[in-house]
Amino acid sequence: MLNAQTTQQVHRRHHVKKDGRDLFLYSHAPHTLAPTNDLDPVAKPEPHMRWHALRREWVAYATNRQNRTYKPPPEYCPLCPVKPGAYPGEIPFETFDVAVFENRFPSFHLDAATAPALPIETKPGVGRCEVVIYSPDHVGSLATIAQDRRELLIHAWADRLTDLLGRPEIDFVLPFENRGEAVGATLHHPHGQIYALGFRPPIIETQAASFRDDPVLDRLRDQIGDRYDIVTGSTMAAFVPPFARFPFEIWVSPFAHHAGPWSLSSAEVSDLAAVLGEVVATYDALFDQPMPYFMHLMAAPKGEEETFQFHFQFLPLQRSADKLKYLAAMEQGTGVFLADVAPEEMVDRLRDARPNR
């Protein structure tokens, strides 16, 4: 059903929520359950952006997010399945496999139409924000969900990227995960997000320009071989970049060129799912506790498909069992990172921690 090739049938069910937001359910068998209790509508958001003249970049404002759900107890988790008569939630079904829905408190919105008239340049915050639920279980991670669930998640990412990049208002789409309270996660259910933007942020433009000039990841692979590998699969590898900025940073990249996950073969989907699970399992074993991290799925911005190489970036914040990496004044003010752990040490310690080595 979906674009990425797979040996298993992948089904997508589109459900429109009570307030008009989209909900997509992904499964290997058709999802046919009747809906249960849905959340009541909230006021339509009107995000906008303001131009930062000194940094030459847009700053996004979404005041509706001040009232978003904040660390609810498990029995009121809005990301869990909802049984008939129970407290309403975002996925109004008794169970599901993988779910994606429009964010109730978005930073960007496709229908954003107004921006305040100010002495500086402003414009509506056009875009779309979605939430990706990895599992119906309230506790879990990319390491603990089953292999077929991770494969389903990859197909869901591919489907949403294809859909959103196909919209004329959208230029770039970023699936990501904020894992752990240390990085600002306010819901504990295993999930990620997707931001679709109507503009290209400076960091993404820099990456796109780098790929236009040179096949950066292919050249890097030629230079370092498997010296920095943590997991080497048959079609892709997870490795510490030798210029890592974050402690125990890992990238995952396929050996073949792909602009995004939508063109992966079934073998590559399976390999990627296994590698992602091993990366997170290794992180959690490193200090014998869940690792807080940012994860970015970097797919090509619109028009960069021929040169941009799809890959994942895992950026952890834990530099030791009891110490976090904070971005201090020097780093915030200049963008120059001060690394506490050498990449070569990261490789040795991550390899030693890997549970399935």
Which residue has tokens 């091993």? 278
- As a whole number of angstroms, the distance between CA 121 and CA 124 comes to 11
Break the chain down into helix, strand, coil percent, rounded to 5.
25, 25, 50
- As a whole number of angstroms, the distance between CA 278 and CA 300 comes to 25
For residue 251, with 0-12 CB atoms within 10 Å meaning exposed, 13-18 middle and 19 or more buried, which class applies?
A: buried
Q: Is 252 left (phi over 0), alpha (psi -120 to 50) or beta?
A: beta
Residues paired with residue 51 on neighbouring β-strands, in sequence order: 58
How many other CB atoms are there within 10 angstroms of residue 160's CB atom? Answer: 22
What is the 8-class DSSP label of residue 303? T
- As a whole number of angstroms, the distance between CA 265 and CA 253 comes to 14
How many other CB atoms are there within 10 angstroms of residue 155's CB atom? Answer: 27
Active-site annotation, residues? 191
- As a whole number of angstroms, the distance between CA 64 and CA 75 comes to 24
Residue 40 carries which side chain, given as an amino acid letter? D
CA 294 to chain centre: 8
Residues paired with residue 13 on neighbouring β-strands, in sequence order: 25
- Stated length of the chain: 357
Residue 46 carries which side chain, given as an amino acid letter? E
